[in-house]
Amino acid sequence: MQQVNLSQDIYYLGVNDRRTHLFENLWPIPYGISYNSYLIVDEKVTLIDTVERAFIDDYFDSIDRILGDRQVDYLVINHMEPDHSGALNAIVRRYPGITLVGNKKTFGIAENYYHSPVNTLVVKDDFVLDLGRHKLQFQTIPMVHWPETMVTYEETNKIVFSGDAFGSFGTLDGGIFDDEVNLNFYEEESMRYFTNIVGKYCPHTQRALKKLASLDIKMIAATHGPIWRSNLNWILSRYNKWSSYDLDCGAVVVYGSMYGNTRKMAETIARQLAVRGIKNIRVYDASKTHPSYIINDIFKYKAFIVGSAAYNNEMFPSVEALLAKIEHMAPKNHLLGIFGNCSWSGGGVKNLKNFAEKIKWDLVAAPVEEKGNLKVTTQDELIRLADDMADRLLE
């Protein structure tokens, strides 16, 4: 690829991954993902983060085209997750005099993943590293996404190299900067990246946003997705909304159903919500739609209504798996409704009630449980559940 400059001496060194199906072997990435690294050429040559190890050859080719025989003096490690530190060992072997720059938590993790780093520079908040014409300042943003995560602020051009923060799923298909792409494409993929990967750490993200607000920022260069130079508020405002659980009026209705009876219950609820004027309603079959997408919508909408058929006296397995992920993420501020279906002794609704106790969302109505096919009296109960939920959403 042609050289891409963020400024005269600062280069984009990213790669596109269109082969991996599941990021972290968990989250679907049908549109791929980019791993973004950056190079600053000054009196001291500095790399900011690296790339996933499968791309090391392409990565070194890009570095060589810019540097020729020059050595790299520093590698700044904003984040140790291997999608960014994957080339660390190879870089240390290639540039034996290199100094690794990180905070005190960085090198503990580096030691666990790789061999003990030799030349290290441990930085704290506000530490300034002078490269010549460029000066780098560091700020830790713990748990966005790991405990060691930090950002690097380049003072001359006012660029924040932000690690995972403000990143996105989706490859960079020609356009690298936010003003070179159609942001509609990244609307869903940047949110899904946030909710799936960083969503557990919303309070930490809020703290990070407040910390970064003190910097004069002209560009945000994350480790995934577009570089933000023209629409900074596009991504900053979204991160603020998502991480503060600022939810829209709407409902996610999820069901696990073997023979369609629990599905009919979900359809009844959804229809009544629509009758009551709720326009944002997403109904999902938990056995078909990956939790990545359902969790993303849970971060959008205030109401979550979940139904489960009983299965071996337990919840339906696909619902159980989804709820385990939700409990793990623990998003806040939701209204909850539950329903289910059984053939003899139950297990669906009973365990949904356990979920309700653990997640501590606001259960707006009594659970509704049917045996087998949906009868008129139970349909009326479901309509009442939907009415109670609509009342709360429209308050």
Taken in order 316, 319, 325, 327, the sign of the CA dihedral is: negative
Answer whether 166's CB lies under 8 Å from 239's CB. yes
* Nearest distance, CB of residue 112 and ligand FEO, angstroms: 15
* Nearest distance, CB of residue 256 and ligand FEO, angstroms: 31
79 lines the binding site for ligand FEO (CB under 6 A): yes
Helix axes 261-275, 376-393, angle to 10 degrees: 40
Member of 99, 196, 223, 296 binding ligand FEO (CB under 6 A):
223
Options 77-85, 90-98, 252-260, 308-316: segment touching ligand FEO (CB under 6 A):
77-85
Collapse the DSSP code of 216 into the 3-class scheme (helix H, G, I; strand E, B; otherwise coil) and give the result. Answer: coil
Answer whether 145's CB lies under 8 Å from 78's CB. no
84 lines the binding site for ligand FEO (CB under 6 A): yes
Q: Which helix or strand (DSSP H or E) is residue 207 part of?
A: helix 202-212
* Nearest distance, CB of residue 148 and ligand FEO, angstroms: 10
83 lines the binding site for ligand FEO (CB under 6 A): yes
Answer whether 310's CB lies under 8 Å from 367's CB. no
36 lines the binding site for ligand FEO (CB under 6 A): no
Compute the distance between CA of residue 223 and CA of residue 309 in angstroms, rounded to an integer. 42
- SS3 letters across 331-382: CCCCEEEEEEEECCCCCHHHHHHHHHHHHCCEECCCCEEEECCCCHHHHHHH
* Nearest distance, CB of residue 208 and ligand FEO, angstroms: 14
145 lines the binding site for ligand FEO (CB under 6 A): yes
Options 46-54, 55-63, 78-86, 355-363: segment touching ligand FEO (CB under 6 A):
78-86
Contact pattern from residue 163 through residue 182 relative to ligand FEO, giving x for each residue in contact according to CB under 6 A and a dash for the rest: -x------------------
Task: Kindly determine how many residues on this chain lie close enough to bind ligand FEO according to the rule CB under 6 A.
Answer: 8
Q: Which is nearer to ligand FEO, 33 or 310 (CB)?
A: 33
Pick from 33, 34, 30: nearest CA to 4: 34
- Residues engaged in binding ligand FEO (CB under 6 A): 79, 81, 83-84, 145, 164, 223-224
